[in-house]
Structure 1
Amino acid sequence: MVTLNSKSKVAVFISGRGSNLKALIKNSKLKRSKYKISLVLSNKSNAKGLDFAKKNKIKNYFIEKKLSNFENRALKLIKINKIKIICLAGFMRILSPNFIKKAAIPIINIHPSLLPKLKGLNTHERAIKAKYKFSGCTVHYVNEKLDSGKIIIQKRVRVFKSDNPKSLAKKILKLEHKAYAEALQKII
């Protein structure tokens, strides 16, 4: 049985509403969970995910938007807090190769498409425009290339003719909440 002390410490980087963060926190509290969310960092002061972190008594910080300052402070906090894995959950910045190298721990990301298809932004609009029969989400390791790291888990959903970008986004977000926790459990 996993005890609280043996759970791997995870940092989550966010920029927005924090729904994936919320799902990760919820899953981290399950007995079978192998991880604990120990740190939440945001590059936006008004990110709603910071409120979730506060409510759950998780150390959380807004770090100014300039990427180099964010990365330098993040590296210090990761070391101080003995973080073992970084999760990017709606973190809308591309980390520098220097940060990835210096962090020297796994960094994973969740992306709202079935990679390698639809790297980058506006995935739901692009999936519908391309008339894909399926879309979904991918949890992958972060490397120096955008949305190109080794895939950990993918979940897919049917795209119906009646779907629009908003309805597709809603369906995929539900999958994301499950996939991220599963991926973390898998790699620990």
Structure 2
Amino acid sequence: MVLSTGTNKIKTAVFISGTGSNLKSLIKFSKLKKSPISINLIFTNNKLAKGLKYGEIFKIKKKIINYQNKEIAEKKILNELEKNKIELVCLAGFMKILSKKFIKNFKGKILNIHPSLLPKYKGLNTHERAIENKDIYSGCTVHFVNSKLDSGKIILQKKVNILKKDTPNTLGKRILVQEHKLYPKAILKIFSL
């Protein structure tokens, strides 16, 4: 089986901080013929991020960035993005907020996936907040990143019903399944516009 080398695909970097399940689904998606992207770089701020193993499995260059000094960290990331001709950044559970300066200096597109139906529940603990407020559904959102937290233009959303017996954990797991489907769909939507 010959995998497409993705020579004419959009060079993409994925930023993670944890398990990398969205990274894994994006890598699988990038291998499909219909996919407009190739994943060329993985960044993390967490050297223990479980998602780094996908870099090894799929032979993708990975970079661990020390975030003690945000300005230095972001300069390093921007240099790598430029060096590798990255045109798209996908944030996938990246637990650092990119500065306005970074967003302005990166000349491509930056996307994020968020586990709520934005504009509801920006930031953290989205599932707890949805359950506490007795919402009947929650979901996930893929959006463009701008300088305000979780406020960029929405690309796609997917609703997930909240069950009476749901805990933040069970709800989170069901939403994650949808995230894995939504992110590739959102990328297809942007690049078919």
Flag whether TM exceeds 0.5 (same fold).
yes
Q: Residue in 2 aligned with 1:24?
A: 26
TM-score of the superposition, structure 2-length normalised?
A: 0.94
Q: Partners in 2 of 1:129 and 1:37 — Cα distance?
A: 38
Deviations 1:151-188, CA, capped at 9 Å, x for gaps: 00101111111111111000000000011111112112
The question of whether the paired residues in 2 share the 8 Å contact of 1:14 and 1:92 is answered with yes
Q: Is 1:106 matched with 2:93?
A: no
The question of whether the paired residues in 1 share the 8 Å contact of 2:16 and 2:95 is answered with yes
RMSD: 1.2
Deviations 1:43-78, CA, capped at 9 Å, x for gaps: 111111111112101110101122222211110010
The question of whether the paired residues in 2 share the 8 Å contact of 1:43 and 1:70 is answered with no
Give the one of 167, 174, 178 matched to 2:177: 174
* SS of residue matched to 1:64: coil
Q: Partners in 2 of 1:115 and 1:8 — Cα distance?
A: 27
Q: Residue in 2 aligned with 1:51?
A: 53
Q: Partners in 2 of 1:119 and 1:86 — Cα distance?
A: 20
Structure 1: where are the runs of 5+ without partners?
Answer: none
Deviations 1:126-151, CA, capped at 9 Å, x for gaps: 00000111100000011010000000
The question of whether the paired residues in 2 share the 8 Å contact of 1:35 and 1:185 is answered with no
Matches within 5 A, 1:145-160: 145-160=148-163
TM-score of the superposition, structure 1-length normalised?
A: 0.97
Q: How many residues are paired up?
A: 187
Q: What's the offset of the Cα at 1:3?
A: 7.8
Structure 2: where are the runs of 5+ without partners?
Answer: none
Q: Is 1:72 matched with 2:72?
A: no
Q: Partners in 1 of 2:27 and 2:89 — Cα distance?
A: 14
Tell me: CA distance 1:73–1:3, structure 2 relative to 1, closer, same or farther (3 Å).
Answer: closer
Give the one of 136, 144, 147 matched to 2:147: 144
Q: What stretches of structure 1 move > 3 A for 4+ residues in a row?
A: none
Q: Residue in 2 aligned with 1:83?
A: 86
Tell me: CA distance 1:62–1:154, structure 2 relative to 1, closer, same or farther (3 Å).
Answer: same
The question of whether the paired residues in 1 share the 8 Å contact of 2:87 and 2:107 is answered with no
Q: Partners in 1 of 2:66 and 2:6 — Cα distance?
A: 32
